[in-house]
Amino acid sequence: MIRLLLMCLFAAISSIATAEKPNVLFISLDDLNDWVGCLGGHPQALTPNLDRLAASGTLFTNAHCPAPACNPSRGAIMTGISPHVSGLYDNRQSMRGQMPDAELLPRYFSNHGYWSAGSGKILHYLIDAKSWDEYYPPKETEDPFPPTFYPKKRPVSLPRGGSWQYIETDWAALDVTDEEFGGDWLVSEWIGEQLSKSHDKPFFLACGIYRPHEPWFVPKKYFDPFPLEEIELPPGYLENDLDDLPPAGKQRGPNRYFAHIRDQGQWKQGIQGYLASIYFADTMLGRVLDALENGPNKDNTIVVLWSDHGWHLGEKQHWQKYTGWRACTRVPLILRVPKGAPGLPRGTVAGTKCNAPVNLLSLFPTLTQLSGLPADATHDGPSLVPLLDSPNAQWPHASITYLGRPGNFGVSGRRFRYIHYDNGDEELYDIETDRYEWNNLAPKHEFANRIAELKAHLPKEFAEYANNNSGESLPDLKWTPFNGTDKLVSQPKGDKFEVRVSNEAGEPIKIFSIDSQGEKHSYGTLETGWSKPYETRSGTVWLVANAEGQPFGYFTVGDQAAHAVVPMPNP
């Protein structure tokens, strides 16, 4: 009898301990705007799995990104540090260059008893190996992308308008299966395997689904539900939408991409590709959710889903991102909390919607509070737990999105949105009556108080932008074409310093350092047109390969900081 009682007591204690530390499933979709069924962004969007997740938890209908670009948004989410504090404002900066000692979300959970693992794109084209216990692809590669099928001859649909055009701005229906396509299918497969297991520790598991990021290449079956002749233009598009914008707004609006796409007669084809990519991403999400529901962790796992920023498909005559308008700042955000979570014992109520203005910067403090972990004073966003407990709770906060440089920002309230440019230009929109921001109210004196109310939420100081996105002031390193037989070996010596690599190859490249034994060490992918610093030492050889991993050149570091320009490969 005593033994039976002890066994029951031990089981109860174990159950309580497990309940005190729920698992976390942390899901990111890349470049997804509000074209989601439950957000009503486009009438043709097919997102049954996003919709079922929203129906099972809390959907934030007024959620915004910290910045309208991958690097600063993801950097802020994963560190809990706002761009105005870190100085990480755009894609061309280095996250670790701006925040060398910041503790990322997975490492924080690991340091508090969790197993932290991930797969796919969570940070901006790197893994940050020291922040994870395990990763797929292996964290040592610093390349978060599994093998993915891409057409050998590119572009497929959209001719390049010039060197300014991102090579991945293209779309096509591929004659392959999901498994043959790889990419996000492999991510969902690996994440599903982890969710199907019992683990010795609670887990923090990050799933980075890359679509609908460009290129919009996905298997043909995801294009089939969207016949080209039935494609509808974005509901937020208005031909004369720029007429009431100030000069800075008009400058941010029209870009060469949208004009080129229309000139090529590819607008509806682009929309079709985006819708198909969303449907594909949603299907991969469904595989992950099914694995959770059918596995041993379904009753003790917090699920959070977010996108790093939105996307324009012609609204404000713009294509891509990098703006302060709602099409770009508003993102899907869903949280589902099981009963028994330390920070929310009753869990979330299925089907709840919350229209409070929230920001993805709040994810770090929210997850630590929900999991019963200590708060971190370095985190800049307020926890969302009060809203998860009661969606109509008092919420004295606004959501701020930082736009590339200090002095440029968007502020979202419950009803009004304010955009400010560093030259003093302003925009104001009443989202309740003007969902698509067609009517700029800022010039009207009767709305001055509304602007003042939103500006009151702004920080007093902004970190300066570190002007390290160019190597123009640095000496150039010699570029040597790779002939296929070169035996590359480094002879590193001295202290570490930075070499800036600029990709002018016209396509994404893979960067490798070579050690003293001639072994390659991956430093991930560098997108075309981008420049990034890499920490190195004198005598180190850096090898450059194309997207398929075929080397085409290298450079050897001298005894000082320098600029390495990667040219187009020889045909």
- Catalytically active residues are 70, 124
Bridge partners for 60 per DSSP? 354
- 216 membership: H or E segment, kind and range: strand 216-219
Q: Which residue has the tokens 């010699």?
A: 478
**Cβ(186)–Cβ(178) below 8 Å:** no
What gap in Å lies between CA 184 and CA 200, rounded to an integer?
27
Instruction: Provide the CA 390 distance to its chain's centre, in angstroms.
Output: 28
- CB-CB contact of 560 with 497 (8 Å): yes
Tokens of 52: 């079922």
Q: Do 428 and 451 touch, CB atoms closer than 8 A?
A: yes
Which amino acid is residue 27, in one-letter code? I
In sequence order, what are the beta bridge partners of 512? 522, 543
CB count, 10 Å around CB of 196? 13
Residues 6+ apart with CB under 8 A from 178: 185, 219, 283
C-alpha triplet 313, 433, 232: angle, nearest 5°: 30
Q: What are phi and psi of 25, to 5 degrees?
A: -105, 115
DSSP 461: -
Taking residue 134's Cβ as centre, other Cβ atoms within 10 Å add up to: 16
Q: What distance in Å separates the CA atoms of residue 514 and residue 470, rounded to the nearest whole number?
A: 24
The neighbour count for residue 7, using CB atoms within 10 Å, is 10
Q: What is the DSSP string of 554-566?
A: EEE--SS-EEEEE
Burial of 507 (0-12, 13-18, 19+ CB in 10 A): middle
| Dihedral sign computed on CA atoms, order 118, 119, 120, 124 | positive
What totals of helices (H) and strands (E) does the chain contain, helices first? 15, 26
Query: For tokens 């012609």, what's the residue?
Result: 314
- Minimal CA–CA distance to 471: which of 391, 413, 555, 411? 555
